[in-house]
Amino acid sequence: MLVLCRKVGEKIQIGRDICITVVAVDRSQVRLGIEAGRDVPIWREELLPRPGTSCPEAPAAGSPSG
pTM for the model? 0.68
pLDDT tens-digit profile of 17-47?
A: 999 999 999 999 999 999 999 999 999 999 8
Whether the predicted pLDDT of 7 surpasses 90: yes
Q: How far apart are CA 31 and CA 20, in angstroms?
A: 10
Q: How far apart are CA 50 and CA 11, in angstroms?
A: 31
Which position has the higher pLDDT, 8 or 51?
8
pLDDT of residue 51: 81
> Residue 25 pairs with which residues in a beta bridge?
30
